[in-house]
Amino acid sequence: MTRRILFFLLLVFAALGRDAVAGPDCSRPLTLALHEHGLLYSADTDSGIDKDFADELIRRSGCKIKVSVMPRSRIWQLIESGALDFSLSGITNAERERFAAFAWYFSNKYYLLIRKDSGVTRLVDFERSELFQLGVIRSFRYSESANRLVDNLLASNRVSQASGLAPLYQALLLNHIQGMIIEPFDTPVLEERKIREITTLVEFNDPTVAHGLIMSKKALPPAEQKKWRALVDEMRADGSVRRIFAKYFKPDLAAAMTDFQAAP
């Protein structure tokens, strides 16, 4: 009798355990969109942090996920509508919280890349000087003070929008814009030296901002989101995320970016 009871309990625990570690629902093909953005993804080479992360995620989940490349603004639009399931390296704000869930896997600071010949070295100077034009990627959000800067300049018609990072670098080189907001992975591969010669970096005095897997709330029920979040946490925990970042950054920067306290 006791043996039978033990056997039954074993079955129950096994079932519970399997449920707890069960992967996400792969019964339908899922979609994930990348956007061209420095080291995150480059269409020219079809490689980047996001690409690696996506590959690893797909591998671990065992799901069939169709990966495509599109502008960031289009990605947010599709995430909101539920036509797209995932994207990567997203940051949140109140508006995005309505339609997107996140699974954080790295965190970084934002910087203002300013042309040296603009004579501006501080954020306030940039905001005050009416000749300065800021280049941003449409629909991008940043850290708090960076967002404030963008909003203020937008109101005074001093922002040039772009659907990708590449034309912003070109515009900066041609002095059509005098500054742009960048993240550590925005260092362009091709023109790094040319850019570095004429620009300087100003750090926004904000805490680091967490980036993560973007999940469409419309496309994925909370239970599924939880499973995907568990998968991402697993990737962080076993050092996969850090390994990916280490491919692109120096080890200490990779560690700094991936070792952060994720919000609950």
Partner 1 sequence: MTRLRLLLLPLLILAAALSITWLVWDHERQSSRKALRSQFDFALREASSRVDQRMAAYEQMLRGVQGLFAASGKMDRHSFRDYVGSLQLDANFAGIEAIGVAEWVPAARYSAHLDAMRRLGGGAYAIRPGGPRDAFAPVIQVEPRAMGDRSPLGFDPWSDPVRRLAMEKARDSGMPAITGKTQLALDNEAQPGFVMYLPIFERGYALSSVSARRDHLVGWVFAAFRMQDLMASLYGEQLPGLKLAIYDGVDASAAALLYQSDELSDRRSPSALAANEYLVVAGHSWMLSLSTRSDFEARYGRNSEALIAVAGTGLSLLLALLAWMLVTGRARATRLAITMTRELRASEQRWGFALEGAGDGVWDWNLQTRETVNSRRLQEIVGADDHDGDSIDRWEQRIHPDDMEKYRDSMQTYLAAAPDASVSCVAEYRIRTGDGRWKWILSRGMVVERDAEGRPLRIIGTLTDIGDRKRMEEQVRQLAFHDPLTNLPNRRLLSDRLSQAMAVSQRTGRYGALMFLDLDNFKPLNDRYGHEVGDLLLIEAADRLKRCVREIDTVTRFGGDEFVVMIRELETLSAESCAEAGRIAEKIRSALSQPYFLTIRRGAAAHQIVEHQCTASIGLALFIGQEATQDDILKRADTAMYQAKVAGRDRVHLAPQSLFNGAGAASTWPHSSAFRVSAGHDRP
Tokens matching residue 6 = 């033990």
Tokens matching residue 38 = 């420095």
Of 31, 61, 145, 160, the residue at the interface with partner 1 (CB under 8 A) is 160
- 134, 154 Cβ separation under 8 angstroms: no
188 in contact with partner 1 (CB under 8 A): no
From residue 113 to residue 152, the character string flagging contacts with partner 1 as x (rule: CB under 8 A) and all else as - is ----------------------x--x--------------
164 vs 262, beta carbon nearer partner 1: 164
Q: How many CA atoms does the CB half-sphere of 190 hold within 13 Å?
A: 9
| Minimum CB distance to partner 1, residue 47 (Å) | 8
Of 71, 208, 233, 243, the residue at the interface with partner 1 (CB under 8 A) is 71
Give the angle 90-92-94 at the CA atoms, nearest 5°: 155
What backbone torsions phi and psi does residue 34 show, to the nearest 5 degrees?
-105, 155
Q: Pick the closest to residue 213 from 34, 66, 44, 78 (CA basis).
A: 34
Taking CB under 8 A as the binding criterion, the range among 13-21, 142-150, 165-173, 237-245 that sits at the site for partner 1 is 165-173
162 vs 214, beta carbon nearer partner 1: 162
44 vs 192, beta carbon nearer partner 1: 44
200 in contact with partner 1 (CB under 8 A): no
176 in contact with partner 1 (CB under 8 A): yes
What backbone torsions phi and psi does residue 19 show, to the nearest 5 degrees?
-65, -40
164 in contact with partner 1 (CB under 8 A): yes
Burial 194-207 (b: 16+ CB within 10 A, else e): ebeeebeebebeee
65 in contact with partner 1 (CB under 8 A): no
Helices first, then strands: H and E counts in the chain:
11, 10
Segment holding 102, helix H or strand E:
strand 100-108
Of 31, 61, 145, 161, the residue at the interface with partner 1 (CB under 8 A) is 161
Neighbours of 23 (CB within 10 A): 13
Taking CB under 8 A as the binding criterion, the range among 9-17, 97-105, 155-163, 232-240 that sits at the site for partner 1 is 155-163
Left if phi > 0, otherwise alpha if psi is -120 to 50, otherwise beta: which for 17?
alpha
Of 168, 182, 209, 232, the residue at the interface with partner 1 (CB under 8 A) is 168
Taking CB under 8 A as the binding criterion, the range among 21-29, 89-97, 170-178, 245-253 that sits at the site for partner 1 is 170-178
Name residues contacting partner 1, limited to 15-44 (CB under 8 A). Answer: 36, 43-44
Chain residues binding partner 1 by CB under 8 A are 36, 43-46, 69-71, 74, 135, 138, 155, 157, 160-164, 166-168, 170-171, 174, 176
